[in-house]
Amino acid sequence: GTAPVITDGDITLAETNAIVDYICDKRDTGRLRPAPGSPERVKYLFWFHTSQGSLQPLLTNKFVMMAMQTRAPFLVRPVAKSLVGALDQAFFGPRLAALFREIEKALNENKWFAGDHLTAADMVMGYSMELCVHRGGMDEKTYPNAYRFLKQMREYPSYIRAMEKDGKGTILL
């Protein structure tokens, strides 16, 4: 029951970053992953894994907690709202704010997360960034470079083709 999943012959593979790595191993000509030992490689590794390892879990847990406020039984909602507010203030808010600042700093220094060229790190960060903007409280005034990143992602030909195939921009919860 884990999504996404791909099948390639006898191989079935789940988990976003595992799938992206697998595809890069099979198809990439060296453009989507900076060379080992390069300064860009360190940035690439950090952002490639930050997306699924830090940012997505924080966002998902925050969204589940937010949904709990409205989906809890009527008499429990005030307690749920208080609990969610306390968790957001003490845990989710500060951690997301720290990540948002790091994202903004990285994108102030580079066009893409790992440098001047699109990499697989940008691809996996793309969905996370959409979540940050649509549901995570990332605003354009405070994070202009994050918005610039999303604009250039949305204009990228392969992103446009993928959106046309999918037919929708699904945002979690």
Helix 77-87 and helix 56-71, axial crossing angle in degrees, nearest 10: 160
31 three-state secondary structure: coil
Vertex 125, ends 122 and 130: CA angle to 5°? 120
Model pLDDT, residue 123:
94
pLDDT at 46 over 70: yes
pLDDT at 107 over 60: yes
Among 64, 124, 121, 128, residue whose Cα is nearest residue 96:
128
Q: How confident is the model at residue 2 (pLDDT cuts 50, 70, 90)?
A: low
Model pLDDT, residue 163:
80
Q: What is the pTM of this model?
A: 0.89
Instruction: Give residue limits of the domains in the chain.
Output: 37-166
pLDDT at 171 over 50: yes
CATH number for region 37-166: 1.20.1050.10
pLDDT at 130 over 70: yes
pLDDT at 106 over 90: yes
Rounded CA-CA distance 57/62 in Å is 8
Model pLDDT, residue 120:
97
